[in-house]
A and B are shown apart, each in its own frame.
Chain A
C-alpha cells in the first residue's frame, strides 16, 4: 500500500543536540511538507519542497533545516538553534499540478513524531 512513513514515533533530544526526523513516501508525490503542532494548537508550516533539490521556508523555519535529495524522502533536522523544539511534527505529501478547475490535491499525512527535550 502507498503511504507516508514518519520515524521515529517518539524522540528525545538533549539540550544542544541536533536531531533528524525521517519522512518517506511511496505515493510518487512531488510536494512534501513539514508542520509543527503545539498542544491544542493548529499546524504551522516549517518547510516545503515541490521538487527534488529544492525547498522553501515556511512560517517558522528558524532553527530547522531540510534536504530533498530524493523524491521519496524529506528529512527534517531540528538544530540546537531551535530553542523550544518540544512539539508534535507532521510530515505530509501531495500532488502538484496546474490546469483548470479547483485544486483538489489534499495532503496525505504521516503519523507524526513527538519530540521532547530532556
Chain B
C-alpha cells in the first residue's frame, strides 16, 4: 500500500495566483514528520517545509504553507503568489520513527507556472 499519495501528476497555475498541491499519507504511528521538497529541472532537491504530527499549527515558510489535516491524513502544500521560478517537481515525504528512519516519498507533482 502506498504510504504517500500525490494524485496530481501535473498542475498549472497562473503567475501571482495561489496553488495547492495535494498529499495524503498513511501511517498508524502517532509520531511522524511530513516534508515537502522542490526539484527544479537541474535535479537538486530543495527542502521547503516540515510539519510534525504533534504540531498544533500549520507550518509556514515564506510563501509556502502546509495545510495539515490530521484526521484526514492530508498535508497539502500551498504556494501563494506563484512565481515563474516555482515551476518544478514537488515531492511530499514522510518520516516515521523506527530503526530505518527513512523518508518515504510520493510520486511527485509537476507544477508549471504560466506567465
* Residues of A near any B CB (own CB < 8 A): 31, 33, 40-43, 45, 48, 50, 56, 88, 90, 92, 94, 96-98, 100-109, 111-112, 114
Contact = CB atoms under 8 A, between A and B. Distances in A.
B31 A103 contact: yes
B74 to A, nearest CB: 16
A25 to B, nearest CB: 14
Given A88-B43, A94-B101, A109-B44, A103 B32 contact: yes
A73 to B, nearest CB: 19
Interface residues of B, number: 30
B20 interface: no
A112 B43 contact: yes
A96 B98 CA distance: 10
Contact of B50 (A48, A97, A104, A112): A104
Contact of B103 (A98, A107, A114): A107
